[in-house]
Structure formats: structure tokens, C-alpha cells
Structure 1
């Protein structure tokens, strides 16, 4: 463990050691391969969605699919920020991460994660307008407005990540330097601070937990209105199509938000379940997103078939 001393003779850490996920030593090779496969499939699946949306002229101008493409892009980067570090923990390589690297990882994770939260909310709003306000939908949600809303989500996510990283690492860290987690996240890092973390835990609770819970409630409210509108559709085929379109989004939202709220609305928790729950929304969700949207969306499946044939959607 490297340390430096400042003018006040206070010892300051220059690196951390990520202890990773608890696992039996004899399963290291197996777990490494599992996460390697997950990472590769996540990148390929989300890249395929991006290519499909980008190359199909009927998809890349529609707000629903613009949002889906942005989600795939975020999933690719979120997986890249987290999964390689998990894989490293199953190898003999050093588990050390430099202080600056820890800051960058925490910022990147919360930037990408919060942007996803806002994006899921926008996707729910888009579906609400499409189903509950179909006649006004082209005016209320067009490509330009969708792009502006996505840009706003990125800016808000960046600000959120910067606030969390700044508040976390302005605290003094003087040892020990072992982070009992698989990446640099706020609750695990704060346990190593050589100062009172009450304010940080309160900010984490409000800025992450409450914001995530608020977005989740807005999404549920949107879908409550959507379900009511769908039930008014007279034809069974119309109801099935509307439910199919929204079902995939609601599935992804539930898989993402419930574990996230479980982690951040319990400040100071040291439950062994936290690591397993965090793996679900940091590793599994980016893998599931392209599968769920592909399997439950006829337009995406049709565009994928055209892409596989090497043909153009305009033919």
C-alpha cells in the first residue's frame, strides 16, 4: 500500500485494492470464463442493436428507437467500466487500482448509471405519448425533441457523476486501502474514509436513492396510464400489440431499478447480498437489454433479418 504525506503530516492513500466478489478458489477459472462470455455477448448484442437502428431508415428516425440505440450505447460502456475489473479479480494479476483510477471508475459508473435512469424515464414517457396521445404524438415527441431530451439526460448524468465523485473523494483516506467490493462504488469506498461520512451517506441517499425511486415512480405512473389506455382498445390484436411493445421496457426497468434501489436506499449496509445484487444491475442487465428488446419487438426482429440478409430496409 503506497502512501504519501501532505503538509499536515496526514497519511494519504495513493491506491486501493479491490477485493472483488467472494468465491471459492477452485472456481476462479470458471467464473473468469463466465464473465468473459457475458462481456463479449453484451458488447455484440448491444452493437447489433446499434447497427440495426442506425442502418434501418424506418427505425433511426423514430424516437422509440433513438432511445433504444442510446440505451445500447450506454450498456456497452457500463459493461466496459465494470466487467473487466471483475474478471481481473479471478486472475493472479494485481488487484490494485490507482487513486485516480478509482475516481474515474466511480464517476463513470454513476454518470452512465444515472443517465440510464433518466433514459428509462424518457422511454416510458415516449410510450405514454404514443399510446395515450396517438394523434398528438408526432408533435409532442419528434426526432429533434427526442435528441434534446437525450442530451439533457447526458448532461444531468454527468453532473450527478461529478457531484458524487467530488463528495466521495474530498474526504481523507489514510488506510486501510482494501475495498471490500468488485469496483469503486460509494458505499464501499466511504467505509475507508478517515472522517465522518454522515453527510455523504445522506447525499447518497437523497441524490441516488430518491432520484432513482422518483424516476421509478414516474415510470410506474406512465405505465398505469398506458395500461388503462390499452384496456380501452376494443380489438384483442390491438391490446396484444400495445402490451408487447411496453412489456419489454417494463421488464428491463424492473430488472434495473429494483436492485439499484435495494443498494442505495440502505446507506451503511454491509449485507453480503449487496455484491450479488449489484452484479445483477451492472453486469446482467446490459446483457439482457438487447435480448429482451429483440425477442419482444417485431420491428427490431424484422430489421435484424434484413441486416442479416445484407439487404436494405428500403428494398
Structure 2
């Protein structure tokens, strides 16, 4: 193990690698950094002092399990524990590749099984109501137009919230096709409905900030790239005003895009391409959802049910 290499240096190099080589999203970077820092803080108490690279190499499976049990007691779900373990594994794998240390025990841990959850799309009528919006006298017009443009983009093109807010001015849809870089640094093309372009154009005409090609398409009150939290809060307000379920989130609009296409006869392969799913199994959840609805109707309507 290189003795000159400190844990702080190893951590900083790992973060640089995530940014510049892995091209990790801001959301992933924040989660991975938080997870590994929390793990190292736990080890400080668990080992009786701040850990070193030698300490990390000497950890056993029981030490990793103790940390996961600690996080479970804090109320973390199986899904969150899976991400935490993924963050730690990423950090350890990077150190192994750099020759800093090798720890075989982390690989032996079983990943917590995530619960199977079907996506919860909106009904077509609810999606229409949502995109019609409700006027809010407390908000400037340009912010209302901006929020409507983002929501229309999520539903009309099936984008993730991070993909929509990551668009630059030069990336805005000008024709019938939008090309973007999605999860896993994968490029995909999605069709753009006229309603999507119109909503974005309306926002651009009223936005008070000069928007340049390499700058963000969607900006906040200070003219900087819009944060996802602003759209989440907008959805919260719309849910309450329109009487929509709590499952009506920005991501639910992406689910709605896929579910409504499937219900209209689109094939799974096409929907997979539009969503940017790496495997067809991710897209097949929407057929499970369709079957779930069918069985619910059957149970209610069939005389023998």
C-alpha cells in the first residue's frame, strides 16, 4: 500500500474520478459523497479513532454489517441501503484499482433486496389537469410559465427531472427530435410534441434573464440553473390544489408518459428506447402495472369475483 497516500487524498481522487471520468450526475455525486462520509464517521466511533487506509483494508464483513445495521436502525429503507452499499463499494473498488488497498470482505456482503414497487402514473385526465395548471398570484408569470414548461417536458418526452433541468439553452428542442445524454452517459433521441415546444417558447419569451447557448435552459430566481426542489414544491402545490394523490410527483410524469403510450398500443421496445432504459426488464414493469389494473377491474366487475 502506498504509505504517502492519505485517506483524505484517496477520497478527493475518488470524487474527481466520479466527476471527470464517470460523468456522474450531481444527484449521484451528492449521494455517494454523503454515504461514504457517513460510513467513515461511523468507523471513527466503531474503531475508536479516525480510520486510515490500513484500517479500511483490515475491515471484516462483520464491520460492514455493523454499519448497515446502524443505518437500518436509523430508519433507512432497503432501497436506500442498497445505494449506501453501492457508494461504499465504488469507493473501495477505486482504491483497489489505484493500488491503495484490497479488501475482499466487502464483495462477500449480500446486497439488501429491494421491494418490488410498481410505478404509479397519473390518470390521463389528472395529467391534463396538471398541465393546465392553476394561476398563482404569488408567483411572477415567468416562473409559472417555467414550471409549466418543465412539467410539460417531463410528461411530453418522458424525461427524468435531472435530464430536463440539465439541459442547456443550446439543447432546447427546436424541431421534432430532442437529443440528450441520460443516465449512464447514454445518448438517446425522443420525439418532441408541438405542445412541449410551445410551453418552452412561452417560458423563454418571458424569462427576465439572458439565456446563452452553454448556460442552463431552466433557471431559478437568481438566474442560476434551476434546482429540482423547486419543481417538487410546485408539484406539491398542484397536488393540493387539484386534489391529486401523493404519488403525483415529477417522476410520476415520466411513468405516466410510458404508461399512457403503452395503453395506446405502443410496443415495449419503443418505450424502452424513449425512456433510455438499459434493459427491457425495467420497461416491463409497465406491463405489470397494466395487468394490475386489469385484475382490479376484473375483481370489481366479474360476477364470480
Please confirm whether the aligned pair reaches a TM-score higher than 0.5, indicating the same fold: no
Larger Rg: 2
TM-score range, shorter chain: under 0.3
Greater relative contact order: 1 or 2 (C-alpha under 8 angstroms, separation 6 or more)?
A: 1
TM-score normalised by structure 1 residue count: 0.23
Which protein is richer in helix relative to its size? 1
TM-score normalised by structure 2 residue count: 0.23
